[in-house]
Structure 1
Amino acid sequence: MIECLGYMPVTATSAMEAVDHMRTADIAIAIIDYHMPNCDGLSLIHRLSAIAAAEGRQTRFIMVTGHASMELAVDAMRASAMDFLQKPVDREDLRKALQRANGLHEASVARSLLLDKISSLSSELSHLTRLIDERPVAAPPAGAQPPAAPGTAATQDDERNMVDYIRGLLRTEAKRSKLGGGALFGDPAWNILLDLLLARLEKRAVSVSSACIASGAPTSTALRLIKKLISDDVLYRIQDERDGRRSFLGINANVEKMMLDYLAGQLQR
């Protein structure tokens, strides 16, 4: 997509390769994925920024993530990222982000763009306060305890294949949900379950607000759906020990096993 938009991309398949490119080429814009093997995107932005500053060059950073949240937007702003895109990345969104990056020369302008996104995400979170009845969160029931990490009985290749397969399904679901203006063909419950399963395999925590975003549905609809899935013992909620205002979601063990069995069968076809 970058080439089709008239740019000349330099690709890196690892953080070390990105560092090498930054040292040897005049990189004007760097698009960085938040989730990478052995390195997170924010750490890489800090490292690349230091290299560019030491050489007197200006590089503008765009963060790419599959899980946009207010926390990530704030962290991205602190790391000097001027924008972030949510996966699967839409070509038009990419074009606009690159145009903004090309036209920005003052840090204050870039900062205002991210503040706008933070404000938007903050509005989403305010819906959480008004629309969901947060009862005291108890420990998950015995049947809902997180199971042993997926993949303990499988090879790392099997886990990697499963992760890639789920990512592909999420991309397909995102494209399908756009048909008919996004109101006819989406499946928010399946999107939430896939996203939570992917997070489980990648050993990531998913907050309620992130699950709402992953559903692809309006916040109020996603919240009602999450409450229903919790009441039906499909999902469970765990309080964030560091922030009592936030809670995370997980899939109950029996549902997770059924999903893994089903997806494994589909993957082998």
Structure 2
Amino acid sequence: MSDIVFARIQTTLDQLQRAVTEVRDTQEATVVARPCERDKSEDSEQHPARIDRLTVALSLIAAANARDKAFGGDLFSDPAWHMLLDLYVAYRRGNIVTATSLCIASRSPNTTGLRWINLLHEQRLIVRENDPFDKRRTIVYLSKDGFARMEKALDLAVESNWKLGIERIRFKK
């Protein structure tokens, strides 16, 4: 690939990233990523407040993958949850999610995935925006409320495991 082509691609990618950042900064539904709020009064390294939410989300995705591997992908269906987990992980990692990739993350047909995207949007859990560089694509991310509710859900999952005596969520990277 010539240096000129590579430079153009890099410039376009940089412009896209700046545009997405600018949109997120100016939207009312903007989310500010923050680390897990840790309770320093607890001595135990395993206390639920000390487990990173991103790790919890990744472990839930890994558990669903393992479940699907054991039972097949057609037995269980939870498209909205898979979408919300995918959006949470993408946001925490600084990645952009398109509607197409979110439909894939839902583990359902595209038409079903699009219906779930509409429902999550109606519930104000996600925000949809046109890609400023490719009008065929739609960028999707968690709304402020969606992000807060995901963090609460992840905290409650850890707390539930803690109460059951599951002291540690193990996740292989």
CA 1:247 to 1:152, structure 2 compared with 1: closer, same or farther past 3 Å? same
Give the counterpart letter for 1:147 in structure 2: V
Identity of aligned residues (%): 28
Q: Is the 8 A contact 2:35 2:52 kept in 1?
A: no
- Give the alignment of 1:152-163 within 5 angstroms: 161-163=52-54
Structure 2 counterpart of 1:182: 73
Distance 1:181 1:144 in 2: 41
Structure 1 gap ranges (5+)? 1-138
CA 1:240 to 1:154, structure 2 compared with 1: closer, same or farther past 3 Å? farther
Structure 1 counterpart of 2:5: none
Structure 2 gap ranges (5+)? 1-22, 40-48, 163-173
Residues 6-27 of structure 1, C-alpha deviation per residue, up to 9 Å, x if partnerless? Answer: xxxxxxxxxxxxxxxxxxxxxx
Give the counterpart letter for 2:93 in structure 1: E
Q: Is the 8 A contact 1:178 1:185 kept in 2?
A: no
CA 1:179 to 1:185, structure 2 compared with 1: closer, same or farther past 3 Å? farther
Q: Is 1:150 aligned to 2:34, yes or no?
A: yes
Q: Is 1:244 aligned to 2:135, yes or no?
A: yes
Give the counterpart letter for 1:145 in structure 2: A
Give 3-state SS (helix, strand or coil) of 1:259's partner.
helix
Q: Which has the larger radius of gyration?
A: 1
- Note the C-alpha offset of 1:211: 0.3
CA 1:217 to 1:177, structure 2 compared with 1: closer, same or farther past 3 Å? farther
Q: Is the 8 A contact 1:205 1:248 kept in 2?
A: yes
Alignment counterpart, residue 202 of structure 1, candidates 93, 96, 99: 93
- Give the alignment of 1:1-269 within 5 angstroms: 145-151=29-35, 161-177=52-68, 181-268=72-159, 269=162
Q: Is the 8 A contact 1:165 1:267 kept in 2?
A: yes
Distance 1:161 1:152 in 2: 6
Distance 2:143 2:71 in 1: 33
Structure 2 counterpart of 1:104: none
CA 1:152 to 1:171, structure 2 compared with 1: closer, same or farther past 3 Å? closer
Give 3-state SS (helix, strand or coil) of 1:182's partner.
coil
- Note the C-alpha offset of 1:187: 0.8
Cα RMSD between the aligned structures?
3.0
Q: Is the 8 A contact 1:174 1:216 kept in 2?
A: no
Q: How many residues align?
A: 128
Q: Is the 8 A contact 1:237 1:248 kept in 2?
A: yes
Distance 1:172 1:248 in 2: 27
Residues 67-95 of structure 1, C-alpha deviation per residue, up to 9 Å, x if partnerless? Answer: xxxxxxxxxxxxxxxxxxxxxxxxxxxxx
Structure 2 counterpart of 1:103: none
Higher strand proportion (structure 1 or 2): 1
Distance 1:190 1:152 in 2: 20
Q: Is the 8 A contact 1:178 1:186 kept in 2?
A: no
- Note the C-alpha offset of 1:226: 1.1
Q: Is the 8 A contact 2:126 2:140 kept in 1?
A: yes
Distance 2:70 2:114 in 1: 23
Give the counterpart letter for 1:219 in structure 2: N
Greater relative CO (CA pairs within 8 A, separation 6+): 2
